[in-house]
Structure 1
């Protein structure tokens, strides 16, 4: 389960990578050159970030988890921050793909939105790094403009899909007029997937252990019901 330390803003890496030839690609910019070693680095980094948080993670430890040398890690990435944002982008791509598979014509808009919201809770398990990143509102480094642009573009694509569903529902009379997709999606993330990254609040206020699957499932249905009531015309 995701540790609360993962939501802390990322510091500038103090680790100094060995000098790399200019022709060597980073994982974020050259996906076509992905290899089995790169995938091992990604998975090892994901586990390390979940276990102790990105701020405490070390390249040496990531390399050990991946059963690789630190030079192998630096072949693909300049620092751990670059790995972190590569994982964020990868998990965002996975979320976009899930949204792309939504049946906008064969399913009623409110039913599609309901399914979408339940999926956000599942996404916290499938894409924990993205979930923590969105909830903590950590900022991408200004130097990594490409990663920031990619992430922003994909999130806007998701919001656009949500707006289509909201507008269709409004036309059919099942959803209130004028619901803003960006506001709705942000609220949805905070109380669905976001709940799993706020273990202390749930524990103190609701006496819910985020490791308790049954209690968290009940919370997810409760949260989705609240969200749906906020946009339906008959509530």
Structure 2
């Protein structure tokens, strides 16, 4: 197996090369989102990017390497939005809510949900030296720990919470529905491809995590769906 090169779009490359690589990655992202890794065709990616197939293989040694770069670019964007989120001016509860909501947002609004399932399988079966998720994870852990510590000091949050375990559970609780749509559909009847259903999951999962760390249970985080998101009987 070939190793993933150090950078998908090298910043020190000439401007015309960087632009070409960006076009290839954008075309590849659309192809992988629409067809998945197995059915995506490099010929179609090249045609959409306005380059030759040979040039795609000059920059990316295989379709799998190109897919790994698409995953890394998407992960880097989502993680950067998380680690640069300004939380210091927010009260602890609001800060943690904002962080959790930002975890969910890329899956609700972007193409990340379409790549999520295949991306998990891809990373489980391959070693990719460049991975923005693992590179930025320490900064994300620190950001959550700071919000948690402020909440403990203010009396909003319980003190017996491991921040790393909380982060892992929070990430799974909020975003895994897009990775395992079948389970969510079977157990609670939500279609994660539907914007209203995705919003229901996002609200409930964020409130669920917040309720778990509160020192005293608060009605601010009810573990029921808001009336505005509950479909009336017979509407489905």
So what's the TM-score if we normalise by structure 2? 0.76
| Distance in structure 2 (CA, Å) of the matches to 1:153 and 1:90 | 13
Rg larger in 1 or in 2?
A: 2
Q: Is the 8 A contact 2:152 2:159 kept in 1?
A: yes
Q: Which position in structure 2 is the counterpart of 1:39? A: 22
> Which residue of the other structure, out of 54, 62, 69, is the alignment partner of 2:45?
62
Q: Which runs of 5+ in 2 are unaligned?
A: 218-236
Residue by residue over 1:181-228, the C-alpha shift from the partner in whole angstroms, topping out at 9 and shown as x without a partner, is 332222222232221232222222222222221122112101111111
Matched, 1:179 2:164: no
Q: Which position in structure 1 is the counterpart of 2:135? A: 153
1:101 and 1:66, CA in 2 relative to 1: closer, same or farther beyond 3 A?
same
So what's the TM-score if we normalise by structure 1? 0.76
1:165 and 1:93, CA in 2 relative to 1: closer, same or farther beyond 3 A?
same
Matched, 1:83 2:66: yes
Q: SS of the counterpart of 1:193?
A: helix
Q: SS of the counterpart of 1:53?
A: helix
CA RMSD in angstroms, aligned pairs only: 2.7
Residue by residue over 1:91-140, the C-alpha shift from the partner in whole angstroms, topping out at 9 and shown as x without a partner, is 23323332344333211122111011112221113351774467558337
| Greater relative contact order (CA < 8 Å, ≥ 6 in sequence) | 1
- Length, aligned pairs only: 210
Q: Which position in structure 1 is the counterpart of 2:173? A: 191
| Distance in structure 2 (CA, Å) of the matches to 1:127 and 1:234 | 37
Matched, 1:223 2:205: yes
Residue by residue over 1:13-59, the C-alpha shift from the partner in whole angstroms, topping out at 9 and shown as x without a partner, is 8xxxxxxxxxxx87537233252221121112112222222233332
Moved over 6 A (4+): none
Q: Is the 8 A contact 1:92 1:151 kept in 2?
A: yes
1:83 and 1:180, CA in 2 relative to 1: closer, same or farther beyond 3 A?
farther
Matched, 1:117 2:97: no
State the 1:233 CA deviation.
Answer: 0.9
Matched, 1:71 2:54: yes
